[in-house]
Structure 1
């Protein structure tokens, strides 16, 4: 019934996360404690969540069963496809009450709100670094471990950052998703498009 009422009585005492079930809260707490019992036998990647390991393993097998019906994008898990589809629809229903930021995902709005509050609940246990979102802490931890879990199946390039692998793969595929709305220029990286658009603005 809580899925209908929106009630989330189980609250994390270390960040603003809350949930409908105690088992989900226990899984969330592992993010703070650093307990990661599930390990990938291929590369040593570790996680606190069995489902995350299942998703991770698909990166090695290349399995991407979730296909976009509007372009050639495919994903290893549904949440990635759902996020991708918002780029086509342009729908961003979640809005910040303190600035003009809008997003397609409620979780991204929660992370954005920390830019206003300054809250950084994700803390490194090896130095004094802390982060407002889990992804930034995960990337930071690779600096301590030297781990590079993301590998290109085409050439063997390895990186600690998933987004870096995504950018790298475009060298092989030739995909250039960032399009200029003033001419026929396209780029593999947003920063290159930004530089290009600046030239139009100067003109």
Structure 2
């Protein structure tokens, strides 16, 4: 970190002193950058800029190897690494061992399959019985 600065309210360390102003707005619930198309507001101007892409459909990050384009650079980087470079993340499920390529997909798997939140689990026990009844 270059010139780290610490918030006196929560202790978070920020890379630049200029970021401290934006961070302190989160404690005050001040979000001065408002979307003109919907009620969302943002602490930082670049967050509003990224959000505006959801309204305009702008996708400035074009993949050089396929026709896909992305609104956010991070999404393009993940696509390029997994689809074209063969680099995959390795996030094993701590419960069943299933491998996910992103941390987010692993968390979704944990909630949906092993937790109470997420999609309702299907009762697969009746499936075989129903299939056998249909054949008779």
Equivalent in the alignment of 1:173? 85
2:70 pairs with 1:159: yes
Structure 1 residues 108 and 170: CA distance shift in structure 2, 3 A: farther
* Counterpart contact for 2:91–2:103, Cα < 8 Å: no
CA RMSD between the two structures: 3.3
Structure 1 residues 189 and 104: CA distance shift in structure 2, 3 A: farther
| In 2, Cα distance between equivalents of 1:92 and 1:193 | 35
Equivalent in the alignment of 1:136? 47
* Counterpart contact for 1:92–1:102, Cα < 8 Å: no
State the 1:109 CA deviation.
3.0
Equivalent in the alignment of 2:120? none
Q: Structure 2: where are the runs of 5+ without partners?
A: 93-99, 109-136
Equivalent in the alignment of 2:29? 118
* Cα deviations by residue, 1:18-40 (Å, 9 ceiling, x for unpaired): xxxxxxxxxxxxxxxxxxxxxxx
TM-score (structure 1 length as normaliser)? 0.41
Q: Which structure 2 residues correspond to residues 49-68 of structure 1 after superposition, within 5 A?
A: none
Give the number of the structure whose alpha-carbon radius of gyration is greater.
2
Structure 1 residues 159 and 114: CA distance shift in structure 2, 3 A: same
2:22 pairs with 1:108: no
Q: Structure 1: where are the runs of 5+ without partners?
A: 1-85, 181-186, 196-203
TM-score (structure 2 length as normaliser)? 0.57
State the 1:105 CA deviation.
2.6
| In 2, Cα distance between equivalents of 1:143 and 1:137 | 10
* Counterpart contact for 2:91–2:102, Cα < 8 Å: no
Equivalent in the alignment of 1:66? none
| In 1, Cα distance between equivalents of 2:80 and 2:28 | 36
2:104 pairs with 1:191: yes
1:150 aligned to 61, 64, 76, which one? Answer: 61
Q: How many residues align?
A: 102
